[in-house]
Amino acid sequence: MSWVSAPFLIAAIGAVLYWLFILTEGVYLGNKVVIALYDWNASHYDQVKQVLPHEDGVHLARPLLAALQGIRSPLVLDVATGTGRLPVALLRQWDFQGRIVGLDLSQRMLAIAKHKTRAHGHRVGWVRDNAMTLPFPSDIFHAVTCIEALEFLPKPWEALAEMVRVLRPGGQLVVTNRVGIDAFFLPGRAYPPTVLEQRLRELGLANVKTRRWQIHYDLVDAQKPLEQYERKLL
């Protein structure tokens, strides 16, 4: 091996490892690797993601509360909740009087989420389980969210179908979609907005809309039509 090729090979290996473990968070190496990385990085996760509570209140919590207007005590499910970013944003809102369930497979992430929301222990619960087979009855949650996680789930389309299943008719779904240059590095995991919107419509959702959020993420809102509930009553 020449002195020219050796540095190139080292750089190439480094680039591949960076892609596998940092950019894509281990998703192409299997779910066990993803969970292990989340457990390992749990204590630094909020700093890495540069979580800003005020911004999350403006862009995540307030629009969701507007969609839930009129529901006195909404029940919200946050899928792949991580360190509880969405639950924390909701619980910081003075007019949110509901309850939240956060679901994730990373034990350490859930431990941090529980610690962050310890003052609201009676209003938030944590479940360590799989997003592909949600352990809840159908039509139970007024809102279901999945923030910065859909592309890292083993089977994103199956997870979306499960989220729709547990969502009450008339309920609100909020998910993120990876966009920008980062989407290029997630082949088969990041979707053009029209593709994700169409899939949500195929799952029976209505009022599907994409809105800009961050450089690397769009927010996608959708509703489960009340007509589905009315048909069940017939």
Cα separation, 113 vs 85, in Å, equals 8
| 167-178 and 141-146 beta bridge pairing | parallel
3-state secondary structure (DSSP) of residue 184: helix
Alpha-carbon 31 to chain mean position: 15
**Helix, strand, coil percentages for the chain (3-state, nearest 5):** 50, 20, 30
Tens digits of pLDDT across the chain (234 residues): 455 577 778 888 889 898 889 889 999 999 999 999 999 999 998 888 888 888 999 999 999 999 999 999 999 999 999 999 999 999 999 999 999 999 999 999 999 999 999 999 899 999 999 999 999 999 999 999 999 999 999 999 999 999 999 999 999 999 999 999 989 999 999 999 999 999 999 999 999 999 999 999 999 999 999 875 555 544
Q: Is the dihedral of CA 117, 32, 217, 69 positive or negative?
A: negative
pTM equals 0.92
Task: Give buried/exposed letters for 97-119 (b at 16+ CB in 10 A, else e).
Answer: ebbbbbbbbbebbbbbbbebbee
- Look-up of token digits 């390992």: 40
